[in-house]
Amino acid sequence: MKHQAVEGFSKLSKEGKIEWVVNEYLNGDEKAIDIFKQYWNDDADLQKLHDEFSENTISNFYMPFGLAPNFLINDELYTIPMAVEESSVVAAASKAAKFWLTRGGFKTTVLSTTKLGHVHFMFEGDFEQLKNAFEQKIKNQLIEDTNDITKNMRSRNGGILNLELIDKTSDLENYYQIKGSFETVDSMGANFINSCLEQFAKTLKNEIELDNNFTQEDKNSLQIVMCILSNYTPDCIVRAEVSCPVEQLANGNVSAEEFVEKFSRAVRIAEIEPYRATTHNKGIMNGIDSVVIATGNDFRAVEACAHTYATKDGSYSSLTHCEVKDGIFRFWIDLPTALGTIGGLTALHPLVKLALVILGKPSAKELMGFVAVAGLAQNFAALSSLVTTGIQKGHMKMHLMNILNQLEATEEEKQYFTTFFKDKTVTHHNVIEEFCRHRGVESVEELKK
C-alpha cells in the first residue's frame, strides 16, 4: 500500500492525528486507537502539559521509573531515581551500591564546569588584521552587547568566561570561529549560550562593517555560517570513584587477588579495543542515561559528549579506568556532561520534580556527581559479572518476566516460573519449552488458538 502525503497535519486535533495514522498506516485498526488513548492521563491538565512538551503528540510513551537505593556518596546516603526499560539496569546499580556501601562508598569531584559554543563564519580577508581587530575592540564589544542577555546569569555567578578567535583555515578554506566559554551555574544553558552566540554574530558583522581598516571586499566576504552551542564539553567534567584494599574484593568463589586481576584486565581490554569499548561504554550509559532521563535532562547530548570524549586520545576507548597501588584498588570515571536542575522539564514534569526532591534538590554540580556514580556503579556490576559468573545468568533472570508477559502468563504462572528457574539457566528456549509443558501443549502456536 502506497501512503499519501498529508497537508496541515499539525493543525489536526489529537483525535484527528490518531484517526489519520490509524487509517493511513494501521489498516483502520480500532484496537490501535484504544492503545493510543489508554496511555492518556485522566487529568486533562496533566495531559495538556505533556502534549506541550513536544509536537504532533498523540499519546504518552511510558518508561519504568525505578529506584536504586543504598548509594553512599561523599559520606551521605542517597537513593537514585532511574528511568529505563532494559532488564537488570536498576538491579545491577543497586547491587553495586550495596557492595560499596561497606567499603567507603563513592566519591565525586567536579573538576570543571565550563560549557562551549561557537560562531562559525567564513572570511577571505587578512587574518592578522582580523585578529588585531578582535583583540583590540571586537572582543570587548561582544561582551558589552550581550550584557542584557547575561545579566541574570551574572547575578548567579555565571556568564561569559572567555572569548577566542580560532583560525580553522588549515581544515577548511576561509573558515574561522569565535569560541565562547560559559558558566551556566544550575541551568543546562543551551538557550542562554545560543542567545549570546547569535548576538556575537550580529556584533561581529557590525564591527567589521564599521572598521575602516577592512576593505569593502573584506567586509563583503564575511559570512556567518551558524551560531550554536557545542554538546562536547570536555571542560565540564566530573570524576566519580571507588577504592578499597584489594583483600576486600573477594567475589564468591573467586579470591580477591584473582578478581582484581580479571577485573583490571577487562578494563584494559576496553581501553585498547574499540569493539569491546563500545559495548563497555554502552553499559556505562545504561546507568547514566537512566538518571539523566529521570531528572529531565537531555540524554542525547550526554551520550554524544561521552562518546566523543571516549575518542579524545585518538581512538575510541573506555570511559572508566582502574589501578592497584600500594594494595589499594581504585576504579573511576571522568565524565564530561552538561546538566541542569533549573529550567526545561526540571520545572514542568511532575516525576522529574519528584526525582530531584528524592536526590535532595541537587545543584547542577551535585547532579553531575549522581549521574557519574550511576554509570560507574553500572560498569562495576557488569564487569564483576563478566569476569566471574558471566553476564547472562543475572540478565536473563531479569528478562524472564518479559518473556512471561509476552506469553500472557497469569500471576500464578509467573510465581511458578520464578521459583522454577531460581537455580536454573534462563534462556528463551528453556522458558518456552517449560511454559508449553506446564500448559500441556506442544508449541507456542497452540497457546494462541
Query: Considering 17, 139, 280, 395, which one is annotated as catalytic?
Result: 395
Q: What are phi and psi of 56, to 5 degrees?
A: 55, 35
Strand partners, 82: 66
Q: Amino acid letter at 286?
A: N
CB 86 within 8 A of CB 399: no
Helix (H, G, I), strand (E, B) or coil at 32: helix
* CA angle (306 as vertex; 303, 307 as ends), nearest 5: 85
Query: Considering 186, 207, 241, 298, which one is annotated as catalytic?
Result: 298
Is 235 a known active-site residue? Answer: no
Measured distance CA(121)–CA(130) in Å, rounded: 12
Query: Considering 19, 51, 86, 334, which one is annotated as catalytic?
Result: 86
DSSP 269-331: HHHH-HHHHHHHHHHHHHHHHHHHHHTT--HHHHHHHHHHHTTTTSS---SEEEEEETTEEEE
Is 48 a known active-site residue? Answer: no
* CA angle (110 as vertex; 342, 150 as ends), nearest 5: 45
Sort 128 into a burial class: Cβ within 10 Å, 0-12 / 13-18 / 19+: exposed
Neighbours of 216 (CB within 10 A): 8
Q: How far does the chain reach from its first CA to its final CA, in angstroms?
A: 29
Q: Which helix (H) or strand (E) holds 370?
A: helix 364-386
Is 34 a known active-site residue? Answer: no
Is 280 a known active-site residue? Answer: no
CB 434 within 8 A of CB 404: no
Query: Considering 48, 151, 282, 312, which one is annotated as catalytic?
Result: 282
DSSP 141-192: HHHHHTHHHHHHHHHTT-EEEEEEEEE-TTTSTTEEEEEEEEE-TTB--HHH
Q: What does DSSP assign to residue 443? A: S
Q: In sequence order, which residues have a C-beta less than 8 Å from that of residue 188 and are 6 or more positions away?
A: 297, 298, 338, 339, 340, 343, 344, 364
Catalytic sites, residue numbers? 86, 282, 298, 395
